[in-house]
């Protein structure tokens, strides 16, 4: 292929503009990103060579080399990993080949700190080289191709790049950074060793640099200089961090390793590192991030921890090792039992994988219970896996962390109620909600039970589109009057998740918007008798309302839950809420056809006007539509509603 000039994908051009305008607040981060990419390329070669040893090309020792040339002002990071073909260079270096790209770019705001976080989460570390370079040259040859099939890729980080075929004897990739004048500090062995030690010490491959020694000048009066000896030395520990004893790894090293594997710029909230022995042997190093990735809800995105077998990298997103509702967890699992040629299909069927999945799930839940314990200053939570060696900072440093976690990942955690029957009780204890006594999402079921009124025999809750709609729902009026706390649930997943949780610790959960309100011992006999008498006296009006609203309401009845509002909508105990039905329709899914029940308050002035009113039909429909509006819905015919209201106002 002769030299040709190609344009970057529009998203890459936008990304490069942000990077070159000092997006990264810490410029030395480019070393970590490029060394990490080089290590990944070696891991991929090792994996592909399991089925084709010829790919090693008589050079089985994998390594990363870092060199610099002060005269040319270049810094080179070279690996002998899998390498790239010409087409792969075009695809990988000129395009962000990941799902959700447009969504990602749409979230970039121009705020440097916020955008740096997003770019880190998206994992486009190669472009960080343009923080310090005004030109990058990449020379590569894919393992297994002829020497004449090498490729050179060159770009100045503007709108285009050049690519051409070259002769390259060595397999792998060389990334050559042509440094700007303000980045010449990286043409220094001491500086490079310091940065590599800080960010890449955990890389399991040797990172080599040429040794230097001081040489006196042969001319009197002239200073000496450091010269290269031609010998190479390893400048990192070259052992996988998760294989080291915990007492030898510092908190800073754990955090740096997390940043390297997750491309996150923030330290994790907590982590757990341990070796599991027994019928299945494996090492796990699992992290809870501090921030949710922008594509957490993208179902097309693969998620999971890195899988190694006997320290050999197998795959990046081993989805089978953790359930979907824990897809935010990052980390490494290294198995001693799985075969090296493990496939995604085998992962679904293996008994060892099932054991790893169960053990890792319990480990993550133990970490969350530990954070929740310190967040609420409770007695230690009792895990079910007997694990107590969660590695993290001291207890005081954990205070407030669970609230941060829950704000980012609480909605995902709720998916576990429907996906993980075995851990449902543990998950229920980790859930938090706002309530009629607390606007903050901090109330757990256990907190609620501890505050229940004497004689109360259910945990009451309401689901709504947002906190304001929940707090102001007419269905809460009788509960507020009697001082009964109600949990306010506003996540889209709540309605679905609670189908799988009928009670908590023996106390049933009851939606205040379903079925007839039965407060049991909390409602005295006088109140019950008054309600029965009101219903009897109002029977003629109810009959007319049922007839007028027969196309909209399944039934019309006198309410026992309203105090100030004229009407509200409820569904039968086994029915689908109107909120969930709306959500399904918005998602383009078919919702079961069902009509709500209209409950009316015979003590309200508007309802009293119904009896004998010449506008009965219009008032009936206004009552229904207003009840629908109060819970966040819209009338089927908004224009007709407005016309009726205007006619009555006039």
**Known binding-site positions:** 33, 37, 79, 84, 98-100, 121-126, 173, 344
Q: Are 169 and 72 in contact (CB under 8 A)?
A: no
Write out the binding residues for ATP: 33, 37, 79, 84, 98-100, 121-126, 173, 344
Q: Cα(351)–Cα(79) distance, rounded to whole angstroms?
A: 36
Q: What span, in angstroms and rounded, lies between the C-alpha atoms of 496 and 417? A: 9
Are 416 and 401 within 8 A, CB to CB?
no
Which residue's entry shows tokens 């998950």?
427
- Residue pair 432/442 in contact (Cβ under 8 Å)? The answer is yes
Pairing mode of beta strands 172-179, 503-504: unpaired
Let me know: does 448 contact 533? Beta carbons within 8 Å.
no
Backbone angles phi, psi at 254, to 5 degrees: -60, -45
Query: Concatenated DSSP letters for 469-494?
Result: HHHT-GGGHHHHHTT---EEE-STTH
3-state DSSP assignment of residue 478: helix
Tokens 């890195």, located at residue? 306
616 burial level (CB within 10 Å; 0-12, 13-18, 19+)? middle
DSSP output for 37-82: HHHHHHHHHHHHTTT-GGGGTT-----EEEEEETTTTEEEEEE-SS
Task: Show the tokens assigned to 570.
Answer: 């409820």
307 Cβ contact list (under 8 Å, min separation 6): 313, 314, 315, 318, 321, 332, 333, 334, 335, 338, 342
CB-count exposure of residue 258 (10 Å: 0-12, 13-18, 19+): buried
What length is written for the chain?
A: 650
The DSSP element (H or E) to which 365 belongs, if any, is helix 351-376
Q: Of the candidates 320, 259, 269, which has an alpha carbon nearest to the alpha carbon of residue 291?
A: 269
The count of other CB atoms within 10 Å of the CB of residue 530 is 13
638: Cα separation from own chain's centroid: 38
């Amino acid at each position: 292929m002769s030299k040709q000039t190609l344009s970057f994908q529009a998203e890459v051009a936008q990304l490069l503009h942000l990077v070159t305008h000092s997006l990264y607040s810490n410029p030395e981060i480019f070393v970590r990103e490029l060394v990490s990419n080089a290590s990944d390329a070696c891991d991929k070669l090792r994996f592909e060579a399991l089925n084709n040893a010829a790919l090693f090309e008589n050079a089985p020792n994998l390594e990363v080399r870092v060199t610099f040339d002060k005269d040319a002002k270049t810094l080179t990071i070279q690996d002998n990993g899998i390498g790239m073909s010409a087409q792969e260079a075009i695809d990988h270096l000129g395009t962000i080949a990941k799902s959700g790209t447009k969504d990602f770019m749409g979230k970039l705001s121009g705020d440097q700190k916020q955008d740096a976080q997003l770019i880190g989460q998206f994992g486009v570390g190669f472009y960080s080289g343009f923080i310090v370079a005004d030109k990058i040259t990449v020379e590569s040859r894919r393992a297994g191709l002829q020497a004449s099939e090498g490729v050179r890729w060159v770009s100045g980080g503007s709108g285009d790049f050049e690519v051409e075929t070259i002769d390259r004897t060595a397999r792998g990739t060389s990334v050559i950074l042509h440094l700007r004048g303000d980045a010449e500090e990286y043409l220094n062995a001491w500086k490079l060793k310091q940065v590599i030690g800080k960010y890449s010490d955990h890389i399991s491959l040797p990172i080599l640099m040429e040794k230097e020694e001081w040489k006196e000048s042969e001319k009197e009066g002239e200073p000496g200089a450091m010269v290269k000896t031609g010998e190479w030395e390893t400048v990192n520990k070259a052992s996988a961090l998760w294989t080291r004893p915990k007492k030898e790894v510092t908190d800073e090293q754990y955090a740096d390793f997390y940043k390297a594997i997750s491309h996150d710029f923030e330290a994790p909230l907590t982590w757990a590192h341990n070796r599991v022995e027994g019928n299945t042997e494996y090492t796990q190093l699992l992290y809870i991030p501090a921030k949710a990735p922008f594509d957490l809800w993208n179902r097309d995105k693969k998620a999971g921890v890195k899988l190694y077998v006997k320290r050999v990298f197998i795959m990046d997103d081993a989805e089978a090792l953790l359930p979907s509702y824990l897809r935010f967890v990052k980390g490494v699992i290294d198995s001693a039992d799985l075969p090296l040629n493990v496939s995604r299909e085998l992962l679904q069927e293996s008994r060892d994988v099932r054991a790893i999945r169960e053990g890792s799930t319990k480990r993550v839940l133990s970490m969350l219970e530990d954070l929740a314990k310190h967040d609420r200053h409770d007695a230690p939570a009792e895990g079910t896996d007997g694990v107590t060696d969660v590695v993290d900072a001291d207890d005081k440093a954990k205070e407030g962390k669970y609230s941060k976690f829950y704000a980012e990942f609480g909605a995902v955690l709720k998916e576990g109620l429907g996906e993980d029957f075995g851990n449902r009780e543990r998950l229920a204890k980790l859930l938090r909600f706002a309530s009629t006594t607390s606007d903050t999402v901090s109330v757990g079921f256990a907190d609620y039970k501890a505050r229940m009124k004497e004689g109360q025999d259910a945990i009451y809750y309401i689901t709504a589109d947002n906190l304001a709609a929940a707090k102001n729902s007419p269905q809460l009026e009788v509960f507020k009057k009697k001082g009964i706390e109600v949990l306010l649930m506003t996540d889209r997943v709540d309605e679905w998740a609670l189908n799988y949780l009928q009670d908590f610790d023996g106390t049933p959960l009851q939606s205040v918007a379903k079925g007839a309100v039965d407060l049991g011992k909390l409602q005295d006999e006088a109140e019950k008798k008054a309600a029965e008498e009101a219903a009897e006296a109002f029977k003629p009006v109810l009959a007319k309302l049922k007839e007028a609203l027969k196309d909209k309401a399944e039934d019309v009845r006198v309410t026992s839950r309203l105090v100030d509002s004229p009407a509200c909508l409820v569904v039968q105990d086994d029915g689908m809420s109107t909120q969930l039905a709306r959500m399904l329709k918005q998602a383009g899914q078919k919702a079961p056809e069902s009509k709500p029940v209209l409950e009316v308050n015979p003590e309200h002035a508007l309802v009293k006007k119904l009896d004998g009113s010449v506008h009965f039909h219009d008032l009936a429909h206004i009552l229904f539509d207003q009840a629908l509006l109060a819970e966040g819905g819209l009338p089927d015919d908004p224009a007709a509603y407005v016309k009726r209201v205007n006619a009555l106002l006039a």
